[in-house]
Amino acid sequence: MFRKIISFALLFIAVFSLAGQEKKANPIPDIRQGNKLFNGQKYEEAEIWYRKAIEKDPKNKEAVYNLGTAQYQQKKFDDAIESFKKSVENYSTKSEGIDAKQMRAGSYHNLGNAHLMKKDAEKAIEAYKSALKLNPTDMDTKYNLVLAMQEQKNQQQNKDGKGDKNKDQKDKKDGKGDQDQNKDGDKKDGQGDKGDEKKDGEGKDGKGDEKGEKKGTGKEQLDALQNQEKKTQEKMQRIKGKPVPVKVEKDW
Walk me through the domains of the chain, giving residue ranges and CATH numbers. 26-154 (1.25.40.10)
**Among candidates 51, 238, 68, 217, which has minimal Cα distance to 139?**
238
Task: Report the pLDDT value the prediction gives residue 47, as an integer from 0 to 100.
Answer: 98
Task: Report the pLDDT value the prediction gives residue 85, as an integer from 0 to 100.
Answer: 97
Measured between alpha carbons, how far is 153 from 149 in angstroms, rounded to an integer?
6
Helix (H, G, I), strand (E, B) or coil at 175: coil
Report whether 31 contacts 49 (CB < 8 A): yes
Task: Report the pLDDT value the prediction gives residue 189, as an integer from 0 to 100.
Answer: 53
Task: Report the pLDDT value the prediction gives residue 99, as an integer from 0 to 100.
Answer: 86
Task: Report the pLDDT value the prediction gives residue 92, as an integer from 0 to 100.
Answer: 82
Convert 20-46 into a string of H (helix), E (strand) and C (coil).
Answer: HHHHHCCCHHHHHHHHHHHHCCCHHHH
Report whether 137 contacts 163 (CB < 8 A): no
Report whether 105 contacts 129 (CB < 8 A): no
Task: Report the pLDDT value the prediction gives residue 161, as an integer from 0 to 100.
Answer: 75
Task: List, in order, residues 6 or more apart from 83 with CB less than 8 Å away.
Answer: 64, 65, 67, 68, 71
In this structure, which amino acid lies at residue 221?
A: Q
- Count of residues for the chain? 252
Measured between alpha carbons, how far is 88 from 82 in angstroms, rounded to an integer?
10
Task: Report the pLDDT value the prediction gives residue 250, as an integer from 0 to 100.
Answer: 36
The predicted model scores a pTM of 0.65
Mean pLDDT in runs of 10 for the chain (252 residues)?
40 41 77 96 97 95 96 97 96 74 94 96 97 95 95 91 64 58 52 49 48 56 64 60 54 33
Measured between alpha carbons, how far is 85 from 114 in angstroms, rounded to an integer?
11
Task: Report the pLDDT value the prediction gives residue 211, as an integer from 0 to 100.
Answer: 47
